[in-house]
Amino acid sequence: MKEFSAIAISMILMASCGKVDLESWQRVNLPEGYSDSHVLSIDIRDDAILLGTYGRGALLSRDNGANWIVYDTSNGLSWNFILGGDWQGDYLILATLGDGLNISEDNGNNWDRYGYNFFGIEYLYTVGARIHNNKKFVPTADGLVIFDSIADRRAIAENDGIGSQYIYDMKIAGDTIALGSLHGYSISYDGGSTWVNFSPNGKFVRKRAPACRVRAVEFQGLNLFAGCDDGLYISADGGKNWTQRGAENLASPFIHDLVIDEKNNLWVATYKEIASLNLKNDEWTIFGLESGLPRGSINCLGITSEGDVLAGTHHGLFILSEGTPIPLPESHVDDTFSSVEEPIHQWMLRPLGPDDQNQKDQTYLYGSTMGGNFRQHQGNEYNNPESVPLLAVDDGGIVYIFREIGHSGLRFDTR
């Protein structure tokens, strides 16, 4: 592990003399080489902060940002793409994007990989991890994995009552578990034994499954909050009735994350801005590029023990503070990519129907290398649970499956 010292987050930004009324987003000074990291996740408990990054591992501070430890493949992780995690004493669990779980029982000195070598083709796309009442809860693209000891794991899938086993987000408090998934908002009030499913936007597909991708979830008692592809939805009666909020306030309807602070503000992250909705007086505050946010997606949010709001972006970790916005340097674009040529296209339909996950995996797009970790991609990926029907380009059949490479490799021969 790599240890770094830095100024505590609460002291990173010092207000200038006199009264300052303006709030703006300032980039947090993370350890050298990490300040511009693509931050995928923020997990906070007490004074500890865990950041998951795209391609640079995980950063953990146990003292509100005064010191950081970096965990990556150079010191034992199997994969540097981290979508969240949790900790309890010396026990650390990290959720990876594509290689299952990495678990350490000695504060990160040694790591065990639970990826393809352990799970097979299931549970590789983990989107978080939470330790609650000594149990571990791991939302994945194939269900909610729960275990005391990982060898005794079990998974909650659609047959167990959730709307979809392709899970995007999870929140836990007491015996209440909320899941956002490919097919709506699922909530359990008894620790996962029974579930109720909702379609916040009121739309349904085959077999009455919700036609609503819920990317982010929050709840306060019977007040449920759903961040979806097509907007923010709120229910005040436990999901019986839903109302869309912010359609006239938000620049983008695609919600990435939701979090509620101690002042009863609902913070909303979208592709284009961060917004807060005061749940007491119903007032919106919008923060766009003019407030110091970088251009590009806002991936995640977090509230520190001191009440500071953090935002993970494509260009680093940001904190909301008093002061004038500091412009970020524009990224240089090679002249080659500035010229436009009319391409020749042979358009094909996406291989999945609209009822399934037909959006491209943004981490390994056509022509990309997933941060230099793979060969240049010659196609796109659409991550779905098992048994989802696919639309083939032409007649064909699976003639060979080679599982030993770490993923299933399928070859299609035209008949």
Residue carrying the six token digits 């949010």: 301
Query: 245 pairs with which residues across the strands?
Result: 232
pLDDT at 415: 38
Torsion of CA 150, 87, 317, 172, to 10 degrees: 70
Question: Could you give the strand order of the β-sheet that contains 274-278, starting from the edge strand earlier in sequence?
Answer: 255-260, 265-270, 274-278, 284-287
Nearest 5°: the CA angle 72, 78, 84 is 65
Provide mean pLDDT across the span 156-175: 95
Q: How far is CA 338 from the centre of its chain?
A: 31
**Mean of all residue pLDDT scores within the chain:** 86
With contact defined as beta carbons under 8 Å apart, do 190 and 231 qualify?
A: no
C-alpha distance from residue 373 to each of 41, 248, 383 (Å): 20, 41, 19
Q: Using DSSP, state whether 11 is helix, strand or coil.
A: helix
- Is the pLDDT score of 22 beyond 60? yes
Q: What is the pTM of this model?
A: 0.83
pLDDT at 181: 95
Query: 270 pairs with which residues across the strands?
Result: 255
Both tokens of 273, joined, read 């801005």
Give the DSSP H or E segment for 48: strand 48-53
Distance, in Å, from the CA atom of 397 to the CA atom of 410, rounded to the nearest integer, reads 9
Pairing verdict, β 48-53 and 143-147: unpaired
> Would you kindly state where each structural domain of the chain is located, as residue ranges?
2-10+21-322, 346-415
Mind listing the pLDDT tens digit for each residue in 324-365? 888 776 666 566 556 666 666 666 677 777 777 777 776 677
Mind listing the pLDDT tens digit for each residue in 195-249? 999 999 999 986 678 999 999 999 999 999 999 999 999 999 999 999 999 999 9
Provide mean pLDDT across the span 28-56: 95
Q: Which of 14-23, 29-38, 322-331, 381-390 has the lowest mean pLDDT?
A: 14-23
With contact defined as beta carbons under 8 Å apart, do 279 and 265 qualify?
A: yes
Note the CATH number of domain 2-10+21-322. Answer: 2.130.10.10
Q: Is 218 left (phi over 0), alpha (psi -120 to 50) or beta?
A: beta
pLDDT at 213: 94
pLDDT at 380: 80
